[in-house]
Structure 1
Amino acid sequence: MKNIRLGLLIAAAISAAAVVSVARAGGDHNMPPYEGSKEFQTIKKLQGHWEGTSSGMAADKSPQKMTVDYKVTSNGSAVVETLFPGTPHEMVSVYTDENGKLAMTHYCSMANQPHMALQSASGNEISLAVAPTNGNVDPATAHMHALTLQMPKPDQLVQKWTSWEGGKEKDTSTFTFTRKS
């Protein structure tokens, strides 16, 4: 009986030591934060809570109040955008650099995940569009195909989302935001 107790005590001590060493190992990585491309650095500057309105979503819809949150995560190597947070229409987009170039995957409420790559960037505007090799979306089905981000001032953001259906452009929805925090 003493041997069983001693064995259990030793096993518990070894398990506790392993948990502590794994936890400490995660905190011992002195990795510098990821900087990324110029465009990715611009996206990182959006971190915070934004409020605004929509237009162009549908001919019969009036502008809606809306919010978007940006969070820099994973040692600065990803930015998570949450559009319509806390609603059934909530959508998440994750921005990263791929081979030194800005990319984004949009987890859409239409139950698809278009992957977009940088098309152009100049001044205060960044444009992304579905990558030609994107296997996540059937071009014939409805999906978000392009996004243009405009930052006319540090605390102002305009998103222009272009949807496609049947292999061609359907419409563009514009969201205008002001940073609140």
Structure 2
Amino acid sequence: MNCHRCGGLMLAEQFDDPHDYTNETEFVGWRCVNCGSIVDPVITGRQRRQSNLSLDNHPTDKEEVAMVRTVLLALSACVFLLSAQPLSAAPQPDPGFAPLKFLVGKWRGTDPEGQPITAFYRFTSGATSLTETLSPKKSPAMTTIYHLDGAYLMLTHYCSLNNQPRMRVNEYKEGDKELAFDFLDATNLKNPSDPHMHKVVFTFHDNDHYTQTWMFSKDGTETPKVFKFERVK
């Protein structure tokens, strides 16, 4: 007899089972002289019972189909419940943003030197602020955040001059073609005569064209910087 594990020679041997509570505590089995594997009636019987149990517990084709259907029904129910939940409405900007709401999206135009420039507007922070990103071709991009301070529409301009002017709209009526932001204060501006942006005026030509005129201040002298934009469609 050869070993089923290594193919070595199997020799008959008498074994004693101390856990057998019958009177037959001794039995004859086979031990491999090469790897030591033992085959005896107890091991053989257990292997047969496990094999039969595995076959008995294996689901039939009908049982497998039923299980798949149950899983699919459960998944369908979950999808239905999720789809039935009402979607939360997107936050709407305050009416105070009315003069600037139409700017949302992408624009292209020219800077004061006639070089290409792009502008991108989007509402952020739960529609409590409007973020503008100006990207000139030959200078760093700049960000301006438009927000409300009570009844006032304001902006904070994060300038490449390394200061941050704050400006406020003091007067605007619905239908006006211009929106002027006047200087309020600035951070990181050591002296009022240092270079900074002191004012900006939006001129609305139509829904697809507008102009920004920034007033650049240095040593008390203001120089207009005009940016012209058209909507990218």
TM above 0.5: yes
Gaps of 5+ in 2: 1-87
1:33 aligns with 2:84: no
Return the alpha-carbon distance in structure 1 between the equivalents of residues 232 and 157 of structure 2.
23
- The equivalent of 1:124 in structure 2 is 177
Structure 2 counterpart of 1:157, one-letter code: Y
Return the alpha-carbon distance in structure 1 between the equivalents of residues 151 and 181 of structure 2.
15
**Correspondent of 2:151 among 81, 84, 100:** 100
TM-score (norm 2): 0.56
Q: Deviations over 1:44-94 (max 9, x none)?
A: 220111001123xxxxxx411111111111221100000116875210000
CA offset at residue 154 of structure 1?
A: 0.4
Q: Deviations over 1:8-51 (max 9, x none)?
A: xxxxxxxxxxxxxxxxxxxxxx687344244x222122011100
* Inter-CA distance 42–140: structure 2 relative to 1 (3 Å threshold): same
Q: Which runs of 4+ in 1 moved over 2 A?
A: 30-38, 85-88, 119-122
Return the alpha-carbon distance in structure 2 between the equivalents of residues 87 and 70 of structure 1.
20
Return the alpha-carbon distance in structure 2 between the equivalents of residues 153 and 68 of structure 1.
17
Gaps of 5+ in 1: 1-29, 56-61
Q: Which has the larger radius of gyration?
A: 2
137-146 or 109-118: bigger deviation: 137-146
TM-score (norm 1): 0.71
What CA RMSD, in Å, does the superposition of the two structures yield over aligned residues?
2.3
Return the alpha-carbon distance in structure 1 between the equivalents of residues 126 and 138 of structure 2.
28
- The equivalent of 2:161 in structure 1 is 110
Q: Is the 8 A contact 1:37 1:100 kept in 2?
A: no
Greater relative contact order (Cα < 8 A, sep 6+): 1
Return the alpha-carbon distance in structure 2 between the equivalents of residues 147 and 162 of structure 1.
6
SS at match of 2:126: coil
Structure 1 counterpart of 2:222, one-letter code: K
Return the alpha-carbon distance in structure 2 between the equivalents of residues 94 and 32 of structure 1.
20
**Correspondent of 2:102 among 45, 66, 83:** 45
